[in-house]
């Protein structure tokens, strides 16, 4: 079955005691266009995230958002008193040399970040990727579930429009079958208006009628259009990534319908052809969203 490129998926997991939310948002795109927003501490996992996405999504403009719950900073800070003492001595020396008044205060020292350092992280942290991947896959599966549901709705819409085109094609074929006898009689009437019926050359008349029938013949176009409709249904049922093929078939179907309209040269058939082209145009807009 076909799948839409538009969808949304979300998962919520706990990684190393921290709540994590992963969102996947996708809209239609010509290829797989992936954008990721990952916490800085997991930036080394971006390559793995992209590999996992490619396993489950093949086409669309996809955005992955990974957010960690902000519990506030609980990090302890160490003061390097030796560095702080060096800054104090340097400031006092500069003060004496320039003849400046005042005292060196703690407010002056906090301007120097080198005095404050985070304690060394000696704790060995477990690998976050297994849990991160689990949450990512969960959000992508939810995304694909929505895309499959929308794909089923698109498929139903396509089937309805194909049925309407087929009904129009039957009407066109029936009307076209009556065109040659009508045009034959019309041609004879025109000739009679110009010359006597006794002077009509039957061979020449037969030749003109044959040429006229060839100009009006739309059998080949109708056969090709039926074949395109058949393949369109097959791709919808059997192809998981049928978007490009369906788009190509719609172009070919539109070409055949245009040819039918131009060759028929009949007002009634022209109205039916206009209806068929309207259905194809609606399908062309919808197929842009098929993976």
Query: Which residues, 6+ apart, have CB-to-CB distance to 83 below 8 Å?
Result: 112, 114, 115
Q: Indicate the SS3 state at residue 244.
A: helix
User: Among 54-58, 147-151, 191-195, 266-270, whose mean pLDDT is lowest?
Assistant: 191-195
What is the average per-residue pLDDT within 30-38? Answer: 93
Q: How far apart are CA 92 and CA 88, in angstroms?
A: 6
What are the backbone dihedrals phi and psi of residue 30, each rounded to the nearest 5 degrees, phi first?
A: -70, -40
Distances (CA, A) of 5 to 42, 59, 152, 217: 28, 7, 12, 41
Per-domain residue ranges for the chain? Answer: 78-117, 151-287
Three-class SS of residue 255?
A: helix
Q: Are 247 and 215 in contact (CB under 8 A)?
A: no
Enumerate the H helices of the chain as residue ranges: 46-56, 81-98, 106-109, 129-194, 202-216, 219-238, 243-264, 267-287
When mean pLDDT is compared across 32-36, 71-75, 177-181, 185-189, the lowest value belongs to: 71-75
Tell me the backbone φ, ψ of residue 158, rounded to 5 degrees.
-60, -45
The per-residue pLDDT for 122 is 56
Task: Pick from 76-90, 131-145, 259-273 the range whose average pLDDT is largest.
Answer: 131-145
Residue 270 zone, left/alpha/beta (φ > 0; ψ -120 to 50; rest): alpha
pLDDT at res. 144:
96
Task: Give the pLDDT band (50/70/90) at residue 78.
Answer: confident
Nearest to 179 by CA among 73, 70, 269: 269
What's the pLDDT tens digit per position in 170-200?
999 888 877 766 666 665 666 555 555 555 5
């Amino acid at each position: 079955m076909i799948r839409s490129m538009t969808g949304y998926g979300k998962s919520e997991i706990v990684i190393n005691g921290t709540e994590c939310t992963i969102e996947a948002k996708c809209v239609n795109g010509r290829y797989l266009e992936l954008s990721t927003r990952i916490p800085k501490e997991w930036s080394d996992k971006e390559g793995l995230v992209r590999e996992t996405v490619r396993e489950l999504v093949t086409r669309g403009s996809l955005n992955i958002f990974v957010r960690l719950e902000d519990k506030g900073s609980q990090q302890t800070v160490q003061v390097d008193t030796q560095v702080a003492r060096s800054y104090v001595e340097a400031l006092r020396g500069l003060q004496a040399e320039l003849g400046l008044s005042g005292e060196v205060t703690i407010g002056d020292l906090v301007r120097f970040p080198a005095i404050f350092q985070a304690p060394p992280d000696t704790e060995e942290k477990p690998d976050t990727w297994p849990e991160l991947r689990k949450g990512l896959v969960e959000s992508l599966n939810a995304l694909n579930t929505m895309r499959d549901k929308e794909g089923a709705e698109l498929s139903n819409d396509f089937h309805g429009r194909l049925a309407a085109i087929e009904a129009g094609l039957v009407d066109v074929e029936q009307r076209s079958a009556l065109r040659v006898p009508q045009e034959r009689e019309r041609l004879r009437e025109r000739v009679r208006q110009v010359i006597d019926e006794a002077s009509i050359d039957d061979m020449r008349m037969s030749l003109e009628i044959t040429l006229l029938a060839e100009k009006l013949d739309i059998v080949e176009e109708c056969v090709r259009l039926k074949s395109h409709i058949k393949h369109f249904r097959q791709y919808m049922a059997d192809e998981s990534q049928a978007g490009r093929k369906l788009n190509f078939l719609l172009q070919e179907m539109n070409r055949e319908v245009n040819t039918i309209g131009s060759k028929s040269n009949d007002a009634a058939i022209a109205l039916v052809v206009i209806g068929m082209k309207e259905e194809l145009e609606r399908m062309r807009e919808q197929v842009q969203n098929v993976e």
